Copies of this chain bind each other. A is one copy, B any other.
Amino acid sequence: MQPVNVGLLGLGTVGAGAVNLLERNGVEIARRAGREIRVVRAAVRNPDKTRECATSGIEIGTDCNAVVTDPNIDVVIELIGGDTQAYDLVMAAIANGKHVVTANKHLIALHGNEIFAAADEAGVVVSFEAAVAGGIPIIKAMRESLAANHIEWVAGIINGTGNFILSQMIFEDQSFEDALADAQRLGFAEADPTFDVEGIDAAHKLAIIGAIAFGIPLSFDKIFTQGIRDIDSVDIEYCAELGYRIKHLGIARRGDNGVEMRVHPTLVSQKALLANVEGEKNAIMVYGDAVGPTVYYGAGAGAGPTASSVVADLIDTVRIMSIDPKGRVPHLAFQPDEITDEPIVGSDDFVCGHYFRVQVADQIGVMAEITRALADQQIGIEAILQKDPPTEEDDARVMIVTKAAREGQLMKVLDHIRSLPYAREGIVHMRVAQFED
């Protein structure tokens, strides 16, 4: 059969990684795919820049449109990132009958619904395994391997930068700022770390995970998102005493009133597998009604792991385009006309355990009042820790972990505590993950 011709939009770290991989393992990949795959063209911003890959045989220019309209190209790989130019180019590629592979979580989370509709209309395949958790095949696992399951929840460490920072804070006693600086020095964090530390990158990925898990449209703007910037090392310490580690998780969960979609710092039992995923690694736990819990672990970023997923998508595309692209696995797991818009609940309806830290004047009856407030809202207590604060000798710090409770109820308790005369300002609140390995 004729080789498959690939055009690249962008030839930075991941693009060069893909070219290197297709070169290094080209024979082995053709042994699997049944066809040779070759990169014939690439559009880049600066054609004079030195590339991290061999470029012989690749026509390099600056015109992205020339790539997406090139009649000789079968598959376009989009690696320029962002959601504006990338969107226009992907839509143009689709309109020109090209299959598309992308690692762009931002693009898919925000515009996937339109992109997939256009691809279905045009009879082409858009693949995006690398958009979530880099080299970990979580899209395929949920979309195909767990297709027999009613998926009940997914919880994952899906931002390597954030996980690296938390690991440094926990094990190296670093402050958030120092850990972030280290992450930037080691290349795990961008110069502008906003998307990583504010949880936006994780929310992009969670939007994709939630859609595939539950058969709902991509709903990035409905995701509750909290970053890691405000995590205080004192809570890391108290949580450790209580048997937990703080992880930044993306959680998609079916609740009684709708789907919970949330990204936030989370207390995870030290014994749980997810608690022990360190550094820049990613891991996702998926709970299906038939299979129970399954976990997928690996590198969530980097040239090699991301290229691994990009080229796997390319091989899948080559296989299906060689027979009938209409036989592709549905982009969002469910057939397009079977995607239903289930309600996504607000934070008051989240159901989980809660951790809170409150500082109070150390008086008789304070603990009685706090625990009474919890009881009044029918909230059970999992653990209590009381400590002296480092200064203010007449104060006490109280840390409580509750059993699973509706967050709206817990907020009433915290409001009540805030109103008490002996409560100091600034209650810290975090959620607790409840899942068995």
Q: In whole angstroms, how far apart are the Cα atoms of A324 and B319 in the complex?
A: 11
Number of A interface residues at 8 Å Cβ cutoff, please give it. 66
Is the pair B135, A25 in contact by a Cβ cutoff of 8 Å? no
Is B297 in contact with A297, judged by CB distance below 8 angstroms? yes
B147 in contact with A312 (CB, 8 Å): yes
- Whether A148 and B315, one on each chain, are in contact in the complex, defined by CB atoms closer than 8 angstroms, is yes
Digit string of A126-149 for contact with B (CB within 8 Å is 1, else 0)? 000100000111001100111111
Residues of chain B within 8 A (CB-CB) of A338 are: 31-32
Q: Nearest-CB distance from A18 to chain B (Å)?
A: 9
A149 partner residues in chain B, CB cutoff 8 A: 25, 308
Chain B binder among A83-91, A238-246, A283-291, A405-413: A283-291
| Residues 279 to 304 of chain A near chain B (Cβ within 8 Å) | 281, 283, 288-299, 304
Q: Within the complex, which residue of B24, B31, B146, B327 is in contact with A327, where a contact is CB–CB below 8 Å?
A: B327
Residues on B with beta carbons closer than 8 Å to the beta carbon of A326: 323
Within 8 Å by CB of A147, from B291, B304, B315, B322, lies B315
A97, CB-defined interface residue at 8 Å:
no
Residue interface mask A17-49, B partner, CB < 8 A = 1: 100011011001101111000000000000000
Chain B residues with Cβ below 8 Å from A312 are 144-148
Contact yes or no, B146 A308, CB < 8 A: yes
A32 to chain B, nearest CB (A): 5
Residues of chain B within 8 A of A291, CB atoms compared: 135, 298-299, 304-305, 308-309
The smallest beta-carbon distance between A337 and chain B, in angstroms, is 9
Q: Are A288 and B273 in contact (CB under 8 A)?
A: no
B residues less than 8 Å from A293 (CB atoms): 298-299
Q: Is there an interface contact between B294 and A298, defined as CB atoms closer than 8 Å? A: yes
Known: A290-B305, A308-B290, A327-B327. A150 touches B273 (CB 8 A): no
Query: Of B28, B289, B322, B437, which one neighbours A281 at CB under 8 angstroms?
Result: B437
Q: Given the known inter-chain contacts A148-B311, A307-B148, A326-B323, please indicate yes or no for A273 contacting B290, CB distance below 8 A.
A: no
Of the listed stretches A74-82, A328-336, A352-360, A383-391, name the one at the interface; the rest are far from the partner chain: A328-336
Given contacts A149-B308, A273-B276, contact A296 B296 (CB under 8 A): yes
Q: What separation, in Å, do the CA atoms of A329 and B319 have in the docked complex?
A: 8
Q: How far is the CA of A150 from the CA of B27 in the complex (A)?
A: 10
Pairwise interchain contact B294-A295, C-beta atoms closer than 8 A: no
Contact yes or no, A31 B335, CB < 8 A? yes
**A292 proximity list for chain B (CB < 8 A):** 135, 298-299, 304-305
Question: When the two chains form their complex, are residues A296 and B295 in contact, meaning their CB atoms are under 8 A apart?
Answer: yes
